[in-house]
Amino acid sequence: MAKKGDYVRIRREIVPAGERDASVPADTSATPLVMWVKGYAQQDARIGEECSVITRVGRAEHGTLIEETPCYELNYGSFVPEILAIDDQLRKALFGGDR
């Protein structure tokens, strides 16, 4: 439950599926254009409920509440053995030995 004043993330469909720009391919045309933005909730709301927000620049937006106190969870991925193989190959190609 997000309280009024909490920082949240909302989602809203802007252009419905089937009404997309004529230039987009069929797979995209079958999906809506969706927008995500963050802001301060203007009323209490649960995940999945409508919520209006005031964004960082002070705009009023509305949409479905999808995340409370949103954050980034980017990381450096999983181990990719090919990267070490590239290292070994390059060092061998340049220096010859086992440096």
Partner 1 sequence: MMEKDRSVVAVNARKTEIIRKAMGVDYDKYESGSIAFDYEAMMNDTGYTLEDNIRIQRHFNVGNTPVFELHNLTALARKLAGPGKGARIFIKDEASNPAGSFKERRAATSVYHAKKMGYKGVVASTSGNYGAAVASQAAMQGLKCIIVQECYDSRGVGQPEIVEKARKCEALGAEVLQLTVGPELFYETLLMLEDTGYFNASLYSAFGVGGIETLGWELGHQFIENYGRHPDVVVAANAGGGNLTGTARGLIKAGCPAKVVAASVNLSGLHMASDNAFNRKSFTTAHTGFGVPYAVKPDHSDVPRSAARPLRYMDRYVTVSQGEVFYITEALATLEGMEKGPAGNTSLTAAFALAQEMPEDAIIVAQETEYTGAGKSIQPQLTFARKNGVELKFGDPADEVPGKDIIFPASPDLLKARDLDLNHLRRSIIHNEAKGFTPTEADIRFLAEETRTSEAFVRETLADM
Binding region for partner 1 (CB under 8 A):
14-15, 19-21, 23-25, 27-28, 30-38, 55-59, 72, 74-80, 82-83, 85-87, 89-91, 93-94
Strands (E), 4-44: 7-15, 33-41
CB closer to partner 1 out of 39 and 45: 39
Distance in Å, CB of 8 to partner 1, minimum: 14
CB closer to partner 1 out of 1 and 84: 84
Q: How far apart are CA 78 and CA 68, in angstroms?
A: 27
